Structure 1
Amino acid sequence: MSTELLTADEWAAGQRLDAWLSNNFEELSRSYLQKLIREDRVFVNGRTVKSNYRLKGGEEISLDLPEPEPLDVEPEPLPLDIVYEDEDLLFVNKPKGMVVHPAPGHPNGTLVNGLLYHCGNSLSGINGVQRPGIVHRIDRDTTGLLVVCKNDFSHNHVAKQLAEHTITRRYRAIVHGVIDEDEGTVDQPIGRSRTNRLKMAVEPVNGKPAVTHYRVIKRFSQYTYIECRLETGRTHQIRVHMTYLQHPLLGDPLYGARKSPYSLTGQTLHAGVLGLIHPRTEVYLEKEAPLPEYFQHLLEILP
Structure 2
Amino acid sequence: MEMTIQIPKDVQAQSLSSLLEKQWLIPRKTRHFLRMRKNVWVNQHPAIFSQIVHPSDIVTLKFEDTDYPLPTILLGDEKKINVLYEDEHLIVVDKPTGIKTHPNSSGETDTLLNHLAAYLIQTHHVPYVVHRIDQETSGVILFAKNPVVLPILCQMLERKQITRRYQAIVAGQLSEKTLTIRKKIGRNRHDRRKYCIDERSGKTACTHITVLKQTHTHAQILCELETGRTHQIRVHLSSVGHPILGDTLYHLHPEESPRLMLHADTLCFTHPFTGEKLQINSQNSLFKP
* Stretches of 4+ aligned residues off by more than 6 angstroms: none
CA distance, structure 1, for counterparts of residue 99 and residue 129 of structure 2 = 14
Look up the match of 1:85: 86
Given residue 232 of structure 2, which amino acid in structure 1 is its aligned partner? Q
Given residue 277 of structure 1, which amino acid in structure 2 is its aligned partner? T
Percent pairwise identity: 37
Look up the SS of the partner of 1:78 in the other structure.
helix
CA distance, structure 2, for counterparts of residue 258 and residue 105 of structure 1 = 34
> Considering only aligned residues, what root-mean-square deviation do their CA atoms show, in Å?
1.8
Deviation of residue 103 (structure 1)?
Answer: 2.6
Look up the SS of the partner of 2:151 in the other structure.
helix
2:181–2:236 Cα contact (<8 Å) kept: yes
Instruction: Spell out, residue by residue over 1:192-236, the C-alpha distance to the aligned partner (whole angstroms, 9 max, x if none).
Output: 112222111111011111000001000011001000000000000
Look up the match of 1:113: 114
Deviation of residue 99 (structure 1)?
Answer: 1.2
Given residue 268 of structure 2, which amino acid in structure 1 is its aligned partner? G
Task: After TM superposition, list the pairs within 5 Å mapping 1:1-303 onto structure 2.
Answer: 73-104=74-105, 107-120=108-121, 121-123=124-126, 132-262=127-257, 264-265=258-259, 267-292=260-285, 295-296=286-287, 299=288
Look up the match of 2:46: none
Deviation of residue 283 (structure 1)?
Answer: 2.5
Instruction: Spell out, residue by residue over 1:141-173, the C-alpha distance to the aligned partner (whole angstroms, 9 max, x if none).
Output: 101001110112211111001111221101000
2:73–2:117 Cα contact (<8 Å) kept: no
2:94–2:283 Cα contact (<8 Å) kept: no
Look up the match of 1:31: none
Query: When the two structures are superposed, what TM-score results if normalisation uses the length of structure 1?
Result: 0.68
Q: Which sections of structure 1, spanning at least 5 residues, go unmatched?
A: 1-70, 124-131
CA distance, structure 2, for counterparts of residue 86 and residue 72 of structure 1 = 21
Look up the SS of the partner of 1:257 in the other structure.
coil
Higher Cα radius of gyration: 2
Given residue 103 of structure 2, which amino acid in structure 1 is its aligned partner? P
Deviation of residue 72 (structure 1)?
Answer: 6.5
Given residue 114 of structure 1, which amino acid in structure 2 is its aligned partner? H
1:239–1:248 Cα contact (<8 Å) kept: yes
Describe the shift of the 1:243–1:269 C-alpha distance in structure 2 as closer, same or farther (beyond 3 A).
Answer: same
2:170–2:245 Cα contact (<8 Å) kept: yes
CA distance, structure 1, for counterparts of residue 230 and residue 202 of structure 2 = 11
Query: When the two structures are superposed, what TM-score results if normalisation uses the length of structure 2?
Result: 0.71
Q: Which sections of structure 2, spanning at least 5 residues, go unmatched?
A: 1-71
Look up the SS of the partner of 2:192 in the other structure.
coil
Describe the shift of the 1:105–1:72 C-alpha distance in structure 2 as closer, same or farther (beyond 3 A).
Answer: closer
